[in-house]
Amino acid sequence: MTDFENDNFLRACWKKETEFTPIWFMRQAGRYLESYRKVRAKNDVLTICKTPELSAKVTVDATTELGVDAAIIFADIMLPLEGIGQSFKLVDGVGPVVEKPVGRIEDVKAIGKFSPKDHVPFVTDAIQLAIQQLDGRVPLIGFSGAPFTLASYLIEGSPSREFTKTKKLMYSEPEAWRLLMTKLSSTVSDYLHAQIRAGVDAVQLFDSWSGCLSPSDYREFVLPFNKQIFERLKPGGVPRIHFGVGTAGILKAMRDAGGDVFGVDWRISIDEAWTILGHVAIQGNLDPAILLGANDLVHARSKDILSRISGRPGHIFNLGHGVLPDTPPEHAKNLVQFIHETTGTKR
């Protein structure tokens, strides 16, 4: 591990003893923070993502303001898709909207080859700038969407609750599905490798929507591709975090797909999840909506999570998903302080 003023996040990833339970948040830089809103008022999200100075700024500002134990580069999981010929827009209140959704094998065959150097140089530049500005204080996390999650956006055309179109292609056109997932797994592997080369200290695979699948469907249609990614990333030597939402029913299969750390949401108790996952590190799992409540409630729910961990090495405190836009920033800051004070003495 590289020397950091605060290396507790990395130590927890490797299941080593820590001075306190490390904590960071998904969607750490977001609309709930004034520092982000000031930048966002003058720039849309894609402009921030594609301007290394802005991406690095909101990344570092959020890390500093919250006092968390890891930074995560500000980007969007859709960014690599432009490089392979899939145009999209980020629509406020909706999310990613794909210009021409994928529906047939001809659409899949038209998907191009991804080149990090040519297609997302702004991400690796932002990583290098953020590392400079963090100046060894805390580690930096890179990330990507997983093949299934990216495929669901490409096929549905916009966020979905039922994923009907995705499942229809998966079940009715297996050749198209395998080709799409093969292309996306290659893209994701190359993208995360580029982030590791740029200097990130850990990577997270966001398979946000895989929880919509049955265990058997996950094993047949998703697991082989995620496993391939994690195996390709292993020589990079950084912790690999495997995260999904609503994944209580597929945790065993996710474990078999790979990863060093598993992020779980609030729909399963963290001790039960850890029993299923076995000898790995675990990240989670406070409901993000709890931060909308009073600090007493936040503390009580956080204590419950910590009591279920019982001091076992390898726990990273996090929310079960991203910070909600209406979250009072003081509640997030208070949670960070509470976790640090409850579990140890911060140096």
Over residues 229-238, the pLDDT tens digits come to: 999 999 999 9
Sequence-ordered list of residues with C-beta below 8 angstroms from that of 120, at least 6 positions apart, any chain: 79, 80, 83, 191, 194
Residue 95 CA to residue 152 CA, distance in Å, equals: 13
pLDDT tens across 98-137, in order?
Answer: 999 999 999 999 999 999 999 999 999 999 999 999 999 9
Whose CA is closest to 257, among 236, 286, 233, 237?
Answer: 233
For every residue of 7-73, DSSP letters joined together read -HHHHHHTT---SS--B--TT-SSTTSHHHHHHHTTS-HHHHHH-HHHHHHHHHHHHHHHT-S-EE-
Span 184-211, mean pLDDT?
97
Q: What are φ and ψ of residue 260, in 5° steps?
A: -100, -30
Span 241-249, mean pLDDT?
96
Angle between helices 174-198 and 147-156 in degrees, nearest 10 = 120
Strand partners for 143: 204
Stated as kind and residue range, the H or E segment containing 190 is: helix 174-198
Give the model's confidence band at 347: pLDDT under 50 very low, under 70 low, under 90 confident, else very high.
very low
Strands 88-91 and 95-98: antiparallel
Give whole-number Cα distances, 333 to 62, 65, 138, 262, 329, in Å: 10, 8, 17, 24, 6
Check whether 346 has a pLDDT greater than 50.
no
- Are 7 and 69 in contact, with CB atoms under 8 Å apart? no
Check whether 2 has a pLDDT greater than 80.
no
Sole residue written with tokens 């001790």: 271
- The long-range contacts involving 47-52, CB below 8 angstroms and separated by at least 24 positions, are 48/74, 49/74, 49/75, 49/76, 49/79, 49/122, 49/123, 50/122, 51/122, 52/122, 52/125, 52/126, 52/128, 52/129
Longest Cα–Cα distance in the chain: 58
Residue-level pLDDT at 143: 98
pLDDT tens across 129-181, in order?
Answer: 999 999 999 999 999 999 999 999 999 998 888 999 999 999 999 999 999 99
Residue-level pLDDT at 172: 96
pLDDT tens across 59-102, in order?
Answer: 999 999 999 999 999 999 999 999 999 999 988 878 899 999 99
Average pLDDT of the chain, as a whole number: 96
pLDDT tens across 54-65, in order?
Answer: 999 999 999 999
Peptide bond into 6 cis (omega under 30): no
Domains of the chain: 8-343 (3.20.20.210)
Percent of the chain with pLDDT over 70: 99
Burial code of 207-230, b = ≥16 C-beta within 10 A, e = fewer?
bbbbbbbeeebbbebbbebbebbb
Amino acid identity of residue 271, one-letter, is D
Q: What are φ and ψ of residue 283, in 5° steps?
A: -125, 130
Whole-model pTM: value is 0.96
Half-sphere exposure (CA, 13 Å, Cβ side) for 193?
A: 17
Residue-level pLDDT at 220: 98
Give the model's confidence band at 1: pLDDT under 50 very low, under 70 low, under 90 confident, else very high.
low
Sequence-ordered list of residues with C-beta below 8 angstroms from that of 330, at least 6 positions apart, any chain: none
Residue 327 CA to residue 193 CA, distance in Å, equals: 33
Q: Active-site residue numbers?
A: 27, 31, 40, 76, 153
Residue 129 CA to residue 325 CA, distance in Å, equals: 26
Tally helices (H) and strands (E) across the chain. 17, 9
Distance of CA 325 to the CA centre of its chain: 17
